[in-house]
Chain A
Amino acid sequence: MRFFILVFLLFVSLHASVMLKSGWNMVGINSHLDINASTISSTDIKIIWQYDNDLKNWKLYTNLNVDTNYSTITQLEGGDAVWILANRDFAFNNSASSIMTTPLSIDSYDILNSIVIDVSDTSLDLLSVASTDTSLAAITSDKTNGTITLTPNNKYGSAKLIVTALKAGVVESRIITLNFSPATSATVFTPVSDLLWDNLAVRKVLNTFAFGGFATDTQIQTWADMSPQDAIKEMLTFDKQNSLLSPADSNYSVPQNKSFKELQDIFGNYNDTTYPILAYHREYLRYSSWSGFQTAWKLTSNMRGFNPFRAKIGFWETNYHLALNKLNALYNHPYTQYYDDIMQSLEDGKNYEDVLSVASLSAGIAYQYGHNKNRYENGTFYGNEDFAREYHQIFFRIFGDYDPDYHEKITIKNTAKALTDMNGGWHDATVGINDGVAYEDAVLTFGTTKHYPSDLEIYSTQIAGTNAKERIEALSKIAINQTESLNNLPLFIIRSLADDNLDASKISIIQNSWKAMPNKNLLSFLQEYAVSTLFHSSSRVKYRTSIDRNIFLTNQFTLDNYESYHELNNQLLPKDGFEPFELLHDVFGHQSGKEAFYSPDVFYQVYNNATYKTWLFKYAYEEQRDSSGNVLKDTQNNSLYTDWIKHWESVIPKDTNGHYVVKDVASWLWKRFINDNERNFGTLEKAHIYALLNGKDLGYFLNPDDPEHIYTISELESFDNSQKINDASVAFMNIDSSDRALKLEANHNISRVIAFLSTLPYIFVEEGR
């Protein structure tokens, strides 16, 4: 069976001229044109390519002095279509039409057969069809029947077609972009094909779900070579350690299989000699410290040996979904317990409703909302209905649309009664306990005497229980299956973690996939989604939050645990002014990705950090400090430094000749920090980065007499400048030099590039394939 698609090709005659942009343009030719030095201005045009469909080969015209085996274009005729490399924006005469930019998508193409495009009903007489894409194995046109037949090489892909037709006696050409993918009737997550599961895809999963992760380049390629279903089971796990995603640092290990309570006890122990925490930092990591958990979390999110997927989901749960705001005067004990209990529940593989029950019954949530004061006495309820509302709205995403009046008067009121006699509270400073400072109980006890005594109707179900724990655990099993929760909760999960651009089709698949799970398990859901066609679709857009972006940057920038233990990079984390667990929207969660993306203030912070505080990205040396943290000085009052130096050679590969070549280093850095298959790594980006890796900014590099000149793309592609940029690209870097000064210089240049990358638009948003 062939799949027929009727296409209306909109041809707009442009008999006078068409505006060409600097760079590559696809252009249809209107009428005969001689191609030679007198008709083609070298100021305007550098190269013209034409595909000869009869010869099945390319033809070339260029005013550059190059040797080539290609035939030379000497003339073009009406109906021809060509690629033109323009030196600048200009009006090109004799062209017939401009480029059709709207892609034509065929997402129900049957892989077993060819694609047939029917253009017979367009009042056009089809003359020819050509394509420059290698994604098509064959392309033919039937002029009599007005059809185009395509045979793709792969299941997924796109192709640009140059379609030439006769319309009202005028020959016109049109470029159409065709996207194609196999037919599918799937209503749930469909695994991405092996063809699209590659190094790029693996990195996108890591960037979205694991702050970039710490997997080696080799491991990433190993996963890319596996089936997506097998790979994802290794990549995303809730264990405290994941040795593939985050290999141990053999020189600087981390404690194994520990909760955050235990980690604080270890890192905050002044007598510990196993882990090289700086002495003066230990007090901030103690369980008795006000911010011990926050400090420990930030430290471990950046360390090899801990599981960055677990860190990402723990951060997401406590900062976005089951939001617990440290700014609500919460002590360290209940916050640590909250995080540990949620993550242990996920690690244990509990059903998601049971995880939500654990969170709902926590001391931290009770203190935040105040229902630890709720009680039922003498037939009267005393307390607030704050969490009684947000349990449904925030945790389960049930807003009450099912029956607003019932929701207000029955569901919320009775949930408030269910949340009674939950006991825990604050304790004054006591010598010998908690380092002698005040604290709050980390767990609640659930009483019966002040708990509501009878069954409570919620969602038309009688919820029984002798205390709040029994009651909430029973209620969660009902709530998770409410229609609103089934529809909204999975959307919230995917939207807040991975895709800000959900359309009706995606929404349906996400909801169906969640509903199809007999037991709701977050890990299984995320694993299936992370290898699905939805996650790897080109329409996926995830705006990064400030914290997400900064942890990602820090993780890519940090090379070993020495840097983490010595907190050489910790100032990168809060540099947009946002701290993990100090929530911008209180119980409604932290800064969203869109808020960060659209915020001029965030951009201001990012830009000025890269320009005014470039030292944030340097860390080419470490100051010596005493046990109190004071910098040690020599007799001349100069700061003393350790002999530590960053070893980029441990991760950046050499070329086959054993050199670190600028253009290779630039590509490696672009992949590590941007990871877009170099889609946005164009002439301009390369020119700037090559110059920075040579120790100068582009303006200074190209013309020291005019360092502030703003170069257009055309200027960069001029002969002189392109030569200089090319020279810069093939220069060698002293990344592994034994000469400390040379190595520091190379590190410095790399740091400047990372600062530059941290400010580019592409770092603010993660796109799908």
Chain B
Amino acid sequence: MQRRTFLKHSALLSLMLALGIDPQELEGATLPSTFDKTVVNIFLNGGPDFRHLIVPIFSTDTSSYGYTYWLNRASIFGISPTDTTAIQNYFTSNYDTLTLSNQSFGILKTAAWLKQELQSGNVAIINNVGGSTSRNHVLSQMVAQTANPQVTQMQGYSHSGWGGRVAQSLGANVISLSRVILPFAKGAKNGDIYTADHTSIINVNDSRNVGLYHFDTATSIANGSSEWQWSDKAVMSRALKSYYATKRATLSTDSLYAPIFENEKKLREFGELINTRLSGITSPQAFSDLLNTYQNDSSELDFIRQISGLYDMYACSDLVNMRVASLDYLGWDSHKFQADSLGKKFELLFGANKALQSLTDSLKANMTSGYNSTVFAIYGEFGRQLKANGGGGTDHGKGNSVILIGNQVEGGIYGELFPQSELDSTNEHSYTTISSDIEPRTAMNTLFAQIANWISSNSQSAQTLFPAGSFSELESGVDFSMLFKVNV
């Protein structure tokens, strides 16, 4: 559509004015220069084994954590537990050592960007975090994304999420980039957390094609063409636009069909705004390169698509009022082939010139304020059991780490990285128990509440967004008050 014609659309003009946007800025590759605080939630679906990413340094001291860990997990890497030389060689070949917050550990070499960010003080690793008491994927995902420990599986699709509630409280939108809208992104209808509200969600699966097709009848007529009379595109787009406009005006907001009309309205209004803005902006080459590299890996392709779309949404953040973004990365349920499958995923996520580095480098170069305003929250529904399962992987566990990344994050290790209690055979959460897993010491909600307070610059924000009593559990010795550099 020509710009002149586009600007004739009074509905769009009204929307732009309501959003405080100068219509002139839609073209000319103008990128926003100011950004509010933003949370990018990256949900690692399946239960990511962060103990595979960050490991204890191997030791031959049989009483040490470094020895016990590798003894119990060597089979994941195809190594005999008794072959300490092979273990040492594997560790040296695949992990770098790093010391942070007075704790030394190994980090996958392929996660080179994460290591660099850790060293720069931009990464907080919060350990021993737990949400669901179940090892059921679906229920645990619900607990993590709704931030309601009491949620049931049956409440499923109808429950609000903590990201949606945060965005609602800010009068902003959640940009949902995952293939399906996650519970995390849904707002609460009239403040009832058990009833999802979709009105603050803008769903973007293909950021370069989000608008509803519109045939430009006015230009066709002006050009003396008869296409507007006979072409299917002209006839069908006028018919459906007209139908939806009239029907929506007469439809009750509590109609069963109202969400379809809401979808149509958002796509028509925001789609054209986004398409017009992005028509003058080139997507960074790094994303195309990644798409080529991972062209045979469906989960990886999907994640790169989301990261690429997220960059585009930063470019449109003033149009879409983005304060929260919701992404997911599938395939972290590593019961088998863990070394290969997680190796690939951690590399795409945290590797040099891979997904997050490509995104953050592009933001730093083109929308610095956007980068500086953003915190990435990376986690899954639960952790894995401490020991390898004998099938080349690990089975469902409980506690896990959460990783926060961003310029405003006070980097460091929060909570005991490798609890010594896991070596104690009398402890319920130790390598010797039947379902050995990481003891949850800090409630997920305690951390999420801190994030909510940070983004809203209001230390009491969490009180209204999270179920009462669900965000107080905190590991002894851990202080979240300094988790962010700009505190509330």
Say yes or no: B246 contacts A710, CB within 8 Å: yes
Q: Is A599 touching B203 in the complex (CB atoms < 8 A)?
A: yes
| A28 CA to B336 CA, complexed, in Å | 71
Interface residues of A in 356-390 (CB under 8 A from B): 369-371, 373-374, 380-386, 389
Residues of B within 8 A of A23 (CB): 250
Q: Which of B55-63, B77-85, B212-220, B284-292 contacts A (4 or more CB under 8 A)?
A: B212-220
Most buried by B among A381, A399, A601, A711: A601
One of B203, B249, B331 near A601 (C-beta < 8 A): B203
- Verify if B135 is at the interface (C-beta below 8 Å from A): yes
Chain A window 387-417, contacts with chain B (Cβ cutoff 8 Å), 1 for yes, 0 for no: 0010001000001100010001100010000
Q: Which residues of A contact B133 (CB under 8 A)?
A: 404
Say whether A600 contacts B267, CB under 8 Å: yes
Do B335 and A384 touch across chains, with their CB atoms under 8 A apart? Answer: yes
Tell yes or no: A611 within 8 A of B by CB.
Answer: yes
Q: How far apart sit A386 and B181, CA to CA, in the bound complex (Å)?
A: 26
> Which positions 581-611 of chain A face chain B at CB distance < 8 Å?
584, 586, 588, 591-592, 594-595, 597-601, 603-604, 607-608, 610-611
B85-141 CB contacts (< 8 Å) to partner A: 133-139
Q: Name B260's contact: one of A380, A413, A764 (CB within 8 Å).
A: A764
Q: Taking the complex as formed, is B235 at the interface, i.e. its CB lies under 8 A from any CB of chain A?
A: yes
Q: Are B257 and A614 in contact (CB under 8 A)?
A: no
A384, A399, A707, A759: the one within 8 Å of B139 (CB): A399
Name the residue of chain B whose CB is nearest to the CB of A593: B157
A389 — which chain B residues lie within 8 A by C-beta?
Answer: 135-136, 396
Question: When the two chains form their complex, are residues A599 and B256 in contact, meaning their CB atoms are under 8 A apart?
Answer: no
Binary CB contact string for chain B from 219 to 261 against chain A (1 if under 8 A, 0 otherwise):
0000000001100111111111111011101100000110111
Find out whether the CB atom of B333 lies under 8 angstroms from the CB atom of A386: yes
Q: Most chain-A Cβ atoms within 10 A of its Cβ — which of B204, B236, B263?
A: B236
CB of B198 within 8 Å of the partner chain: yes
B263 and A603 form a contact (CB under 8 A): yes
Contact B390 A393 (CB under 8 A): no
Residues in B whose Cβ lies below 8 Å from that of A759: 240
Which of B198, B236, B336 is within 8 Å of A756, CB to CB?
Answer: B236
- What's the minimum C-beta distance from A402 to chain B, rounded to whole angstroms? 13
Q: Contact check, A370 vs B210: say whether CB atoms are below 8 A apart.
A: no
Minimum CB–CB distance for A294 against chain B, Å: 15
B163 to chain A, nearest CB (A): 16
Any chain B CB within 8 A of the CB of A139? no
| Residue in contact with A684 in the complex, picked from B236, B241, B243, B263, CB distance below 8 Å | B243
> Quick check: A604 and B138 within 8 Å, CB to CB?
no
With contacts A697-B235, A697-B238, A699-B242 known, is A765 near B298, CB below 8 A? no
Whether the Cβ atoms of B391 and A752 lie closer than 8 Å is no
A611 touches B135 (CB 8 A): no
Please determine whether A370 and B246 come into contact, CB atoms closer than 8 angstroms.
no
A594/B157 contact (C-beta < 8 A), A400-B134, A688-B243 known: yes
- Chain B contacts for A732, CB-based, 8 A: none
Q: Which residues of B contact A595 (CB under 8 A)?
A: 157, 180-181
Q: Does B432 contact A (CB under 8 A)?
A: no
Is B330 an interface residue when CB atoms closer than 8 A count as contact? yes
Q: Which of A374, A409, A759 has the most CB of B within 10 A?
A: A759
**Of the candidates B181, B236, B259, B336, which one forms a contact with A697 in the assembled complex, judged by CB atoms under 8 Å apart?**
B236
Q: Is the C-beta of B153 less than 8 angstroms from some C-beta in chain A?
A: yes
The reply to whether A607 and B243 contact each other, CB–CB distance below 8 Å, is no
Q: How far is the CB of A550 from chain B (nearest CB, A)?
A: 16
B229 touches A384 (CB 8 A): no
CB pair A408 B135 closer than 8 Å: yes
Say which residue of B181, B233, B250, B391 sits within 8 Å of A383 (CB atoms).
B391
B239 touches A688 (CB 8 A): yes
A714 smallest CB distance to B (angstroms): 10
A385 to B47, CA, bound (A): 14
- Interface positions of A from 32 to 72, Cβ below 8 Å from B: none
Interface string of A332-366 (1 = CB under 8 A from B): 00000000000000000000000000000000000
Of the residues A597, A700, A762, contact of B235 by C-beta under 8 Å: A700
Q: Does A769 contact B (CB under 8 A)?
A: no
Choose among A382, A399, A608 the residue that contacts B391 (Cβ–Cβ < 8 A). Answer: A382
Contact A611 B236 (CB under 8 A): yes
B residues in contact with A713, CB < 8 Å: 246, 250
- In the assembled complex, the Cα of A347 lies from the Cα of B247 at a distance in Å of 46
Asked whether, in the complex, the Cβ of A696 is within 8 Å of the Cβ of B181, the reply is: no
A280 at the B interface (CB under 8 A): no
Which B residues are in CB contact (< 8 Å) with A710?
A: 241-242, 245-246
Q: How far is the CB of A195 from chain B (nearest CB, A)?
A: 25
How many angstroms from the CA of A383 to the CA of B336 in the assembled complex?
Answer: 9
Which residues does chain A contribute within 8 Å of B136, judged by CB atoms? 389, 393, 399-400
B180 interface neighbour in A393, A409, A586, A599, Cβ under 8 Å: A599
- Residue B395 at the A interface, CB < 8 A? yes
- Using CB atoms, name the residue of chain B closest to A399: B136
Taking a contact as CB atoms closer than 8 A, the residue among B198, B261, B390 that contacts A598 in the complex is B198
Contacts of A403-441 to chain B: CB distance below 8 A: 404, 408-409, 413
Q: Counting chain A CB atoms within 10 Å of each CB, which of B228, B245, B260 scores highest?
A: B260
Most A CB within 10 A of own CB, among B228, B242, B257? B242
Minimum distance in angstroms from A669 CB to a CB of chain B? 15
- Kindly report which residue of chain B lies nearest to residue A748, judged by CB atoms: B232
What A residues does B250 contact at CB under 8 A?
Answer: 21-23, 713
- A746-769 vs B, Cβ < 8 Å mask (1 yes, 0 no): 000000100110011110110100
- Please indicate the chain A residues that have their CB under 8 angstroms from the CB of B36 in the complex: none
With A598-B259, A599-B263, A612-B233 known as contacts, the answer to whether A698 contacts B240 (CB < 8 A) is no
The answer, yes or no, to whether A712 is at the interface (CB within 8 Å) is: yes
A409 to B202, CA, bound (A): 43
B238–A699 CB distance below 8 A: yes
The reply to whether the CB of A615 lies closer than 8 angstroms to some CB of chain B is yes
Which residues of B263-284 are within 8 A (CB) of A? Answer: 263-264, 266-267, 271
B249: which A residues are within 8 A, CB to CB? 712
Contact A761–B261 (Cβ < 8 Å):
yes
Measured in the bound complex, the distance between the Cα atoms of B308 and A273 in whole Å is: 50
A381 in contact with B260 given A588-B137, A699-B238, A707-B228 (CB within 8 Å): no
The verdict on A597 contacting B237 (CB below 8 Å), with A588-B137, A607-B267, A611-B213 known, is no
A541-B256, A608-B212, A713-B250 are known contacts. Are A600 and B238 too (CB-CB below 8 A)?
A: no
Complex interface: chain A residues within 8 A of B389 (CB): 383-385
Within 8 A of B (CB), among A456-488: none
**Distance of A71 from chain B, by nearest CB (Å):** 32
Q: Inside 8 A of B271's CB, which chain A residues have their CB? A: 604
In angstroms, Cα B299 to Cα A327, docked, is 10
Residues of A within 8 A of B365 (CB): none
Residue B441 at the chain A interface, CB threshold 8 Å: no
Give the CA-CA distance A373 to B75 in the complex, in Å: 14
In the complex, the answer to whether A404 meets B134 with C-beta atoms within 8 Å is yes
A385 to B139, CA, bound (A): 18
Q: How far is the CB of B150 from chain A (nearest CB, A)?
A: 13
Query: Are B434 and A604 neighbours in the complex by a CB distance under 8 Å?
Result: no
Judge whether B205 and A601 touch: CB under 8 Å. Answer: yes
Across the interface, which residues of B come within 8 angstroms of A497, CB to CB? Answer: none
Q: Which residue of the partner chain B has the closest CB to A397?
A: B153
Question: In the assembled complex, which residues on chain A have CB atoms less than 8 Å from the CB atom of B189?
Answer: none
The answer to whether B257 and A612 have CB atoms under 8 Å apart is no
Indicate whether A708 reaches chain B with its CB closer than 8 angstroms.
Answer: yes
What are 6 A-B interface contacts by the 8 Å CB criterion? Answer: A383-B390, A389-B136, A588-B138, A615-B232, A710-B241, A752-B236
> What 4 A-B pairs are tightest by C-beta distance, nearest first?
A614-B232, A382-B390, A761-B257, A384-B391
Please give 12 more A-B residue pairs, beta carbons under 8 A apart, in addition to A595-B180, A708-B242: A327-B298, A370-B391, A385-B335, A385-B389, A408-B135, A586-B333, A592-B157, A597-B259, A600-B267, A601-B204, A614-B236, A699-B239
Which positions in A face B, CB cutoff 8 Å? Answer: 21-23, 327, 369-371, 373-374, 380-386, 389, 393, 399-400, 404, 408-409, 413, 491, 541, 584, 586, 588, 591-592, 594-595, 597-601, 603-604, 607-608, 610-612, 614-615, 618, 684-685, 688, 691-692, 696-700, 704, 707-713, 752, 755-756, 759-762, 764-765, 767
